[in-house]
Structure 1
Amino acid sequence: MKVPNLIYSTSILFLSNFIVRIIGFLYKIFLSKQIGANGLGIFHMIFHFLMLCVCLTTTGIPVALNSLISKENKMNNKHNMNSLFISTLYMSFFISILISLIVFFNSKFIGFKLIHSNDSQMLIICILPAISLITISNILRNYYYGIKKVQIPAIGQILEQLGRVVFVVMLFSFIKNKSIYPLIALIGISVGEIVNILFIIVNLFFEPTLSNAYAITLNDFKNSINNITKMALPITFNRVFAVVIQSISSILIPSRLELSGLSHLQSMSLYGTITGMVFPFLFLPFTLTSALVVNLIPSISQEMPNKNYSLINKKIFFSIFLTSCIGFSSSLVYFFFGEKICMLIFNSKLAGIYLKAISISTFFMVLNHTLSGILHSIEKEYNATINNIIGLLVQLFCIYFLLPISSINVYGFIYGFTLSAVIIFTLHIITLYKTQRRWR
């Protein structure tokens, strides 16, 4: 895969990601006005728990499938491609069903622990279909990434977002009981995924690289699962750990803020302001970097067996340079215009103050995303995992010890978030530098 083709695929995914982010951004504004900061806090707590449930099936496994499919596709080995795809789909679906059952039988306990309310069980139950749907969606999407046909998943993601938004907006217009709006928003996640899956399945029927034999031999299944698992384990563990830390943080932040003298409602509102108003801006640059990483992993992976280090280094330099430009410009915009932007969009000066304070982390976050993809593609998954764990533990440490200090409170989270991004960036750079030295 030449650099120009990498740019072409990245451009397509960037365009779709940009459209999805814009729709999602407008959707977040709509939600913030309809359900308020407290409702946003509840929504994001449940959403983080959902991400924890699906992280076993939507991180390492799809990335490994993407990489392995790209190698088999280059050798035109349709049999192995079919075995990898079907085996991964079966395995991931089984894991998602198992997770859904565990959550269902413990939904009352989980709801009480997350929301501190006896009436929150239904919020947990309504996300159960999304666990399997998101799993299937990710496997289907990464198959297409592996065969370098990014147009199908790109359109699917747009349809997913549109399906979710249309469903929620329509129900909000008919139902005036705002107390169930967070429930409707959570159900909308499943509706959007169904739209995406149906679109991709229709296209799979006309996909020439995929055999119509959806039953494979036991031996093929074992070999495929073995190959997928070897690559997926460190990436999955990294993601599981990250989501666990995020989930712990979402529970800790309100409770630790209360120790600084704030009420429970004030703490939830501050948490909702950061997650619902500040973070959408913070992750906006990922419209480009996520598109780049999706194409970068198979692009570099297929060059590794041939030890084509010259081309690999060119792709690494190109991706880091592009990401640095995006991250640096985003940080500058948020630092100098954060307050004005948040006043214009959310009519919240407080959100603008927080966005300005956390703006520098944008530069390091987008670089970390690209660097992590590079390390995965050059078979340094374990190093990337260790680097992320160290950074996330620092973030958790700051949340626990700094938030209860009345003169710091929510800024403890901002400081920890930024420090974590800087530490991960430094460790990733060191790992990449040491690896490239061995290629010379």
Structure 2
Amino acid sequence: MKKQSLVKGSIILGVAGIITKVLGLFFRWPIIMLIGDEGLGLYQMPFPLYMLFIAIGAGVPVAVSKLVSENNAMGRFRENFVIVKETKIAMMLLGVGYSALMFIFARPIIHAFNWNEEAYYAMVGLAVGPIAISVMTVYRGFFQGMQNMVPTAISQLLEQVGRVFFGVGLAYILLDKGIGYSAGGAALGASLGGFLGGGYLMIKYHSERKKHKIKKVESKPEILSKIFKIAFPVTLGACAGSIMGIIDSAVIPHQLLNAGFNSEEATVLYAQLTGKASVIINLPMTLSMALSISLIPVISEKFILRKYDELNRKVDLSLKISTVISIPCMFGIFIMAEPIMRFLFPGRHEGFEILRYLSLTIPFIILTQTTTAILQGIGKYMLPVINLFIGCGIKLVLTIILVKTPEINVFGSVIASFIAYLFVTIINVIQMKIYMKVKLEVYNNIIKPIIGSLIMGVSVIYSYNFIFEKTTSVAISCLISVFLGIIIYIIWILCARVFDMDDLKRRVPKRK
């Protein structure tokens, strides 16, 4: 199987991720048009529980990809299929069990978190998802470890296409029964999309087995201990974020009630934060997540082969990519928050101020993801996890204190997120300098992207206002000005020579 360079692998997953997120907007836009912010809030309330299972399984593809990458480096190719076999059985049992728990305890959970009773249907719809996710994570880890990101990218696209098709269709069909049923249909569609992506990966994997003439795979249950050792700290880190999402779904609406808002107002504000602003913020996160996924097997391979010079070059390149992506995204979304919301949610653009200030967290979220992947790639699994848990504790305390203040309300969660991710980024960078002796290029990696982003921002503002005066169309003005800003920023990055072209062209050697 042909390997891909760090940059190429990141680009493949990044492009697929952006397309996936755009398709996700095609899911949310009709959902919001059908059931409004209140219905979206019903969908979003149990969604962190679904994301918790994804977090529980998050360590599995990382562990599988790391072990597969190391096996390839040491010439133990056949053992990769043993890893997939044993991990898949364990994950299927976990997925079925988690789905059963969501079905059985749906109403008790709703009562415990003081959610709207109508959220029950969304909970049941999402409960189907873990079964598909459990298998999909294992196959993705296998292909990522082979440093072939194409199957993962295609599965992401198929998953989102299924989500849009089934989710919007079911939400429309069930709308006559009420907002709660419609939100439940959208949730079920999200789950069914997972089966589409998982089915493709299953076919692709078995094709890979046939290609290498592997008819029977031996059983080695003891290999799960290796998987668990790597996956557990990664899962803990992912769970920290998901658990925080669950806590937010309970704390934010409750604290908004304490701030003097009624139940419907609290649900709407929560939907604007998690169902609109956070969804848009997650778009650039897709690029950084693609980098992190590509980064772990590459870092692991260089580390186990003791190629420290190449390792440091990959680390510098990954940090550079992170800042080059995150800084202009922060500037662009901060400046264009209102036009973006008007373009994506015409007639329902409320919450653009939440989006504006939430954009300030983008660089620190992306750098947290990248530095976590680097530390875990060299075997320091628990360090970034501990940092993330401390960050979650900071966010929880600040959210509880700030959201209940009427003048701050839901913006308290935004402030808490900013401070928490800033803390985790700083600690991760300090630990990288300690354990890897990494030298950070501040001017090239930070100052130059900031200058380019400022130039881009000015051009976007003037071009948007000029085009809007001529066309009075938010969509046309937004699309053209954003596209122009991207072109100007890319030209700046090339002219300022932010990247070393030799490093970008360097490929991972082919497996012999």
TM > 0.5 between the two? yes
Map of 1:137 onto structure 2:
136
Map of 1:364 onto structure 2:
364
Task: Tell me how far apart the structure 1 counterparts of residues 215 and 183 of structure 2 sit (CA, whole Å).
Answer: 41
SS at match of 1:205: helix
Map of 1:13 onto structure 2:
13
Q: Alpha-carbon deviation of 1:143? A: 1.0
Q: 1:290-309: per-residue Cα shift (whole Å, max 9, x none)?
A: 11111110001011122211
Map of 2:150 onto structure 1:
151
1:202 aligns with 2:194: no
SS at match of 2:406: coil
Residue 210 and residue 121 in structure 1: after superposition, are their counterparts in 2 closer, same or farther (change >3 A)? farther
Task: Tell me if structure 2 keeps the 8 A contact 1:112–1:120.
Answer: no
SS at match of 1:405: coil
1:211 aligns with 2:214: yes
Question: Which one is further off, 260-269 or 238-247?
Answer: 238-247
Residue 60 and residue 403 in structure 1: after superposition, are their counterparts in 2 closer, same or farther (change >3 A)? same
Q: 1:17-72: per-residue Cα shift (whole Å, max 9, x none)?
A: 1211111122222222112111111211111111123432x211221111101111
1:188 aligns with 2:189: yes
SS at match of 1:360: helix
Letter in 1 for 2:262: S
Letter in 1 for 2:315: I
Map of 1:437 onto structure 2:
437
Task: Tell me how far apart the structure 2 counterparts of residues 118 and 69 of structure 1 sit (CA, whole Å).
Answer: 45
Task: Tell me how far apart the structure 2 counterparts of residues 192 and 349 of structure 1 sit (CA, whole Å).
Answer: 27
Task: Tell me if structure 2 keeps the 8 A contact 1:368–1:425.
Answer: yes
**What's the % identity of the aligned pairs?**
24
Residue 358 and residue 129 in structure 1: after superposition, are their counterparts in 2 closer, same or farther (change >3 A)? closer
SS at match of 1:206: helix
Letter in 2 for 1:24: G
Map of 1:37 onto structure 2:
37
Task: Tell me how far apart the structure 1 counterparts of residues 132 and 59 of structure 2 sit (CA, whole Å).
Answer: 17
Task: Tell me how far apart the structure 1 counterparts of residues 158 and 4 of structure 2 sit (CA, whole Å).
Answer: 28
SS at match of 1:433: helix
1:70 aligns with 2:73: no
Matches within 5 A, 1:384-399: 384-399=384-399
Task: Tell me how far apart the structure 1 counterparts of residues 7 and 115 of structure 2 sit (CA, whole Å).
Answer: 48
Q: Alpha-carbon deviation of 1:108? A: 2.3
Q: 1:68-116: per-residue Cα shift (whole Å, max 9, x none)?
A: 0111123332332121111111111112222233333322212333463
Question: Which one is further off, 176-185 or 83-92?
Answer: 176-185
SS at match of 1:332: helix
Task: Tell me how far apart the structure 2 counterparts of residues 270 and 362 of structure 1 sit (CA, whole Å).
Answer: 21
Task: Tell me if structure 1 keeps the 8 A contact 2:129–2:190.
Answer: yes
Task: Tell me if structure 2 keeps the 8 A contact 1:78–1:210.
Answer: no
Question: Which one is further off, 93-102 or 298-307?
Answer: 93-102
Residue 50 and residue 114 in structure 1: after superposition, are their counterparts in 2 closer, same or farther (change >3 A)? farther
Task: Tell me how far apart the structure 1 counterparts of residues 87 and 155 of structure 2 sit (CA, whole Å).
Answer: 20
Residue 365 and residue 210 in structure 1: after superposition, are their counterparts in 2 closer, same or farther (change >3 A)? farther
Q: Alpha-carbon deviation of 1:173? A: 4.2
Map of 2:278 onto structure 1:
279
Residue 17 and residue 206 in structure 1: after superposition, are their counterparts in 2 closer, same or farther (change >3 A)? same
Task: Tell me how far apart the structure 1 counterparts of residues 68 and 119 of structure 2 sit (CA, whole Å).
Answer: 41
RMSD across aligned positions (CA): 2.2
Task: Tell me how far apart the structure 1 counterparts of residues 32 and 249 of structure 2 sit (CA, whole Å).
Answer: 18
1:312 aligns with 2:275: no
Task: Tell me how far apart the structure 2 counterparts of residues 192 and 3 of structure 1 sit (CA, whole Å).
Answer: 28
Residue 175 and residue 246 in structure 1: after superposition, are their counterparts in 2 closer, same or farther (change >3 A)? closer
For structure 1, the 5+ residue unaligned runs are none
Q: Alpha-carbon deviation of 1:121? A: 4.1
Matched pairs, number: 434
Question: Which one is further off, 28-37 or 410-419?
Answer: 28-37
Task: Tell me if structure 2 keeps the 8 A contact 1:137–1:196.
Answer: yes
SS at match of 1:221: coil
Task: Tell me how far apart the structure 2 counterparts of residues 261 and 229 of structure 1 sit (CA, whole Å).
Answer: 46
Question: Which one is further off, 291-300 or 176-185?
Answer: 176-185
Q: Alpha-carbon deviation of 1:210? A: 7.9
Task: Tell me how far apart the structure 2 counterparts of residues 300 and 423 of structure 1 sit (CA, whole Å).
Answer: 24
Letter in 2 for 1:212: K
Task: Tell me how far apart the structure 2 counterparts of residues 376 and 5 of structure 1 sit (CA, whole Å).
Answer: 19
1:116 aligns with 2:111: no
Task: Tell me if structure 2 keeps the 8 A contact 1:112–1:121.
Answer: no
Task: Tell me if structure 2 keeps the 8 A contact 1:46–1:114.
Answer: no
Question: Which one is further off, 339-348 or 131-140?
Answer: 339-348
Matches within 5 A, 1:16-415: 16-56=16-56, 58-114=57-113, 116-118=115-117, 120-177=119-176, 178-179=178-179, 180-207=181-208, 208-209=211-212, 211-214=214-217, 216-217=218-219, 220-222=220-222, 224-347=223-346, 348=348, 350-415=350-415
Letter in 2 for 1:190: S
Letter in 2 for 1:33: M
Task: Tell me if structure 1 keeps the 8 A contact 2:168–2:189.
Answer: no
Q: Alpha-carbon deviation of 1:144? A: 1.0
SS at match of 1:211: coil
Letter in 2 for 1:279: S
Task: Tell me how far apart the structure 2 counterparts of residues 362 and 379 of structure 1 sit (CA, whole Å).
Answer: 26
Q: Alpha-carbon deviation of 1:438? A: 9.1
Task: Tell me how far apart the structure 1 counterparts of residues 242 and 174 of structure 2 sit (CA, whole Å).
Answer: 33
Q: Alpha-carbon deviation of 1:400? A: 0.7
Letter in 1 for 2:108: F
Q: 1:123-144: per-residue Cα shift (whole Å, max 9, x none)?
A: 3333232112111111111111
Task: Tell me how far apart the structure 2 counterparts of residues 209 and 148 of structure 1 sit (CA, whole Å).
Answer: 17
Q: 1:300-351: per-residue Cα shift (whole Å, max 9, x none)?
A: 1011122211101101111111110111001111222212221222245542
